[in-house]
Structures are given as C-alpha cells and as structure tokens.
Amino acid sequence: MFEAYNFTDPGVGSYNFVPDSSFYFVDEKHEIGVVQAISNAYTAEVDGPTLAVAHSDEHSSGNLSKRAVFVGCTARMRSTILVAAAYAEVYAANAKAYLTTHTTSTPRFTSWFGTFTPAHRATVLSHFTGIDANIFSTYTYDCTCTLTGYYAYVYPNR
C-alpha cells in the first residue's frame, strides 16, 4: 500500500481492497522463492466531496516501491511473469558482475559476443549495466495479444 489514497476522482462509493498474497524473493543461492501471506479483503465506504486518507508514518515503512501492472493476464500468467522478472534481474546482475570482473577474453565472452576487444567489452558491459538498472518487477505487462507465432529472437551477427 502507499501512503495516501485520493478518492477525489472516483468519488463516493464502496471500495474493495484485496491485498496481494504472493510475495517473491531471491535467496542467497539466487533461487526464486514464494511466500504466501494470509490476508483478508477489506471494504471501505467513502462519503464526502473530496476525501484523501493519509496513513501515519507509524504505518508507513518508507521502503515501498512500485509493483508490476498486469493487463489482461490470468493469475498463472502473473505468477509466471513475476518469477521470470525476478530471474531476469538476477541474470542481468550476474552478467554485469561477470563482465566487470573479466577484463580479458574468455570462452564465455567469445561464445556469446564474438571477438573480444576492449571496446567491444565496454559496449557489452554498458548494455548489461543498462539492463541491470531495470527493475522488471515494476514493468507493465500486457497479456492481451492474441496473435500466434510471435516471439523474440536475437540474431548472432546483428
């Protein structure tokens, strides 16, 4: 939850709040884990012209962050995406760490990226630094595409 709810736009009415019960984490072995919370939904009645309810600092951790937004995704899709996002974050961090600590040619580098040069390494490192800066668990994921046969592919020579 965030620090305040502004009901000015939606106005007077009954609002249902349902907390997310699945929490994903990456453990010290870089494996994804899931914790299921036991929670209850809450219904609140809002009455008045322009209401904003602010939470006191006592109930706000200040360490809150944006969560993923899902459009047209089933619960299974959401769960799969969140796990994949967590793995992607770990993968990007590990790739950046590898490239940072390996400053000369390695079989791993040449297998993935071709001929090693310091300039080529710097380019690849800058790409993974950029990827690592992302928090994939905060993205918006749109599952409404119904087209079949679409996928992403990276050509090794481009």
pLDDT of residue 153: 63
pLDDT score recorded for residue 2:
38
Which pLDDT value is given to residue 65? Answer: 61
Q: What is the pLDDT of residue 146?
A: 81
pLDDT in the model for residue 103: 95
* Torsion sign across C-alpha atoms 104, 105, 111, 114: positive
- Give mean pLDDT in consecutive 10-residue pieces for the chain, a chain of 158 residues: 51 70 79 79 64 42 69 89 89 93 94 94 94 89 83 67
How many Cα atoms sit within 13 Å of 66 on the Cβ side? 10
Q: What is the DSSP letter of 6?
A: E
Element (H, E) at 143: none
Q: What is the pLDDT of residue 50?
A: 44
Structure tokens of 24? 């994903």
DSSP state of 38: P
At residue 6, the pLDDT reads 56
pLDDT of residue 79: 87
pTM of the entire structure?
Answer: 0.53
